[in-house]
Amino acid sequence: MTTDRKVRVRFAPSPTGPLHIGGVRTALYNYLFARQAGGELIFRIEDTDSTRFVPGAEEYIIESFRWLGIEFDEGVSFGGNHGPYRQSERRDIYKTYVDQLLAAGKAYIAFDTPEELDNKRKEVENFQYDASTRMQMRNSLTLPASEVERLIAEGNQYVVRFKIEPGRDVQVDDIIRGMVSINSSVLDDKVLYKSADQLPTYHLANIVDDHLMEVTHVIRGEEWLPSAPLHVLLYEAFGWTDTMPRFAHLPLLLKPVGNGKLSKRDGDKLGFPVFPLEWHDPKTGEVSKGYREQGYLPEAVVNFLALLGWNPGGEKEVLTMQELIQMFDLSKCSKAGARFDYVKAMWFNHQYLLQHPAMEWTPQLDKILRAEGIESTPEREAQVVEMMKQKVIEYTDNEGNKKKRNISFVSDLWPLCRFFFTAPQSYDSADKFVRKNWKAETAGEMRQLANLLSTIDNFSVEDIKAKVEPWAEQTGIRPWNAWRVALVGTGQGPDMYELSAFLGKEETLKRMEHAIESIDC
| Residue 68 vs 230, nearer CB to ligand GLU | 230
**CA nearest neighbour of 410 among 360, 457, 475:** 360
- In whole angstroms, the minimum distance from the beta carbon of 224 to ligand GLU comes to 5
Q: Would you tell me which residues interact with ligand GLU (CB under 6 A)? A: 12-14, 46, 206, 220, 224
- In whole angstroms, the minimum distance from the beta carbon of 275 to ligand GLU comes to 15
DSSP 380-427: HHHHHHHHHTT-EEEEE-TTS-EEEEE--SHHHHHHHHHHHHS--SS-
212 and 245 Cβ atoms separated by less than 8 Å: no
Q: From the centroid of its chain, how far is CA 511?
A: 45
101 and 164 Cβ atoms separated by less than 8 Å: no
- In whole angstroms, the minimum distance from the beta carbon of 16 to ligand GLU comes to 7
Q: What residue spans of 244-341 are helical by DSSP H? A: 264-270, 298-306, 321-327
| Residue 13 vs 200, nearer CB to ligand GLU | 13
Buried/exposed 329-364: b ≥16 CB within 10 Å, e otherwise: ebeebeeebbebebebbbbbbbbbbeeeebeebbeb
| Residue 219 vs 300, nearer CB to ligand GLU | 219
Catalytic machinery residues: 264
- In whole angstroms, the minimum distance from the beta carbon of 206 to ligand GLU comes to 5
The H-or-E segment that residue 234 falls in is helix 228-238
| Residue 224 vs 395, nearer CB to ligand GLU | 224
In angstroms, rounded to a whole number, what is the distance separating the alpha carbons of residues 169 and 229?
A: 9
Q: What is the DSSP letter of 16?
A: S
| Residue 19 vs 482, nearer CB to ligand GLU | 19
In angstroms, rounded to a whole number, what is the distance separating the alpha carbons of residues 19 and 64?
A: 8
In angstroms, rounded to a whole number, what is the distance separating the alpha carbons of residues 277 and 341?
A: 19
- Residue type at position 497: Y
What residues contact 139, with CB distance under 8 A and at least 6 apart? 108, 109, 110, 111, 112, 161
In angstroms, rounded to a whole number, what is the distance separating the alpha carbons of residues 374 and 422?
A: 8
- In whole angstroms, the minimum distance from the beta carbon of 250 to ligand GLU comes to 10
CA angle 304, 67, 339 (to 5 degrees): 20
| Dihedral (CA of 140, 143, 149, 155) sign | negative
| Residue 220 vs 389, nearer CB to ligand GLU | 220
What residues contact 399, with CB distance under 8 A and at least 6 apart? none
In angstroms, rounded to a whole number, what is the distance separating the alpha carbons of residues 129 and 94?
A: 23
- Upper half-sphere CA count for residue 457 (Cβ side, 13 Å): 0
| Residue 12 vs 321, nearer CB to ligand GLU | 12
Q: From the centroid of its chain, how far is CA 30?
A: 15
| Residue 203 vs 511, nearer CB to ligand GLU | 203
| Residue 227 vs 303, nearer CB to ligand GLU | 227
In angstroms, rounded to a whole number, what is the distance separating the alpha carbons of residues 184 and 26?
A: 28
